[in-house]
Amino acid sequence: MESYSNEQVSLDKMKSLHLSFFVVCTLTLLVLAGCSNKSVDEPAEHRVQKSPVDLFMPGALAQDVEIVDCTLSDGTLTSCYKITVVGTPTDHKVGPFCPRTTSATADEVGIWLDGEKLYDVTGEFILNLPTIYNDDHWMLHDAQGDVRVTKTKEAFEAAARPDVAEEYENYCVEGRMEWLEGGKPVTTTVQIPISPVAMDVPTPARAPLGVTFNGVRIDAAAPVDAILGAYTIAAFDDCGGHVNPFEGYHVHAATGCGEVGEALQGETPAFAIAMDGYLIHSGQDRDDLDACNGHTTEEYGYHYHARPAELNGVLSCYMGAIVQGAQGEPPRGGPPGGRPPRGAGPAPADAGSAPPVPHDHH
């Protein structure tokens, strides 16, 4: 039998104790780390500065996002996201739009915005059009109180064009998704810089302005003068969108739909990404917004806030460079042209009976 000295036994015990202490400490640190991850919030910059690609709702993308080489409007050579959205909102149904009768209430219809006010397209609104626009030629309903609505694909396409046929004057123009080619939504593909490049001078915004995180194209301001000039109302749903034969479903205004995530105190959630790569947050009445309705915060960096829906148009300009050749299309949401408006414009406040109270959508 082997024998050990007292010194050797003591040394073995010390090694054993050191090993046990190391194991215990390691396990303790791992447990504490796990608890820390559950109980301590991430710093704000990590919580809000996510890739825009991660913000798209499930089903909002028609295909995987690609990264491609691109050239921006200021000549910058960079990398861009190539994003294709499905063309229909993934978080809400499309519509409703036009009323069917002059007794229709707000919960049955969509909205109308004319650059100054936003209305529910109720039966009362239809009855008051001559007063609202100071023109007695307005008459979107018959003697029985039925509202004239484009009820077929042919009527829709005839009314949603620059030269609206006279027989479709005094119509509420309403498109349906099933009337689009193949009965399928119209996808939109855009290239957006991964790293936005700020410009010294704002760039006027033209269609498309960007894409929403629920899968929809953002169009430029609707051609309201042309729509009204043809004595038509191209109604929007409560999310500021409608259907036309060219872009399918698209939005002209932001009303709080499609928001993602929780906003930090004093901010509103994002719902879209603009063509220059900056995020678009829901509207907010504040005094630190620049000419393009944007500002910079420590948590979010530079970002836009959507313009009030009644002003017609989510953004009016960009503060960043966009991809060369990415834009240039005239807006085509609803009748894109037509005769100039007739009549003397909106009636003075004391003219005739009072028009409906403007819709206050938040």
Q: What value, to the nearest 5°, has the Cα angle with vertex 266 and ends 263 and 267?
A: 40
Which residues lie closer than 8 Å to 327 by C-beta, 6 or more apart?
Answer: 206, 207, 208, 275
How far apart (Å, rounded) are the C-alpha atoms in residues 334 and 173? Answer: 8
Return the pLDDT at 326.
Answer: 77
**Mind listing the pLDDT tens digit of every residue in the chain (362 residues)?**
444 444 444 444 444 544 454 444 444 444 444 433 332 333 444 445 578 999 999 999 999 999 999 999 999 999 999 999 999 999 999 999 999 999 999 999 999 999 999 999 999 999 999 999 999 999 999 999 999 999 999 999 999 887 888 899 999 999 999 999 999 999 999 999 999 999 999 999 989 999 999 999 999 999 999 999 999 999 999 999 999 988 999 999 999 999 999 999 899 999 999 999 999 999 999 999 999 999 999 999 999 999 999 999 999 999 999 999 876 444 444 443 333 344 434 433 333 334 443 443 33
Can you give the chain as a three-state secondary structure string?
A: CCCCCHHHHHHHHHHHHHHHHHHHHHHHHHHHHHHHHHHCCCCHHHHHCCCHHHHCCCCCECCCCEEEEEEECCCCEEEEEEEEECCCCCCCCCCCCCCCECCCCHHHCCEEECCCCEEECCHHHHHCHHHHCCCCCCCCECCCCEECECCCHHHHHHHCCCCCCHHHCCEECCCCHHHCHHHCCCCEEEEEECCCCEEEEEEECCECCEEECCCCEECCCCCHHHHHHCCEECCECCCCEEEECCCEEEECCCCCCCCECCCCCCCCCEEEEECCCCEEECCCCCCCCCCCCEEEECCCEEEEECCCHHHCCCCCEEEECCECCCCCECCCCCCCCCCCCCCCCCCCCCCCCCCCCCCCCC
Name the token pair of 313. 């148009």
Global pTM reads: 0.79
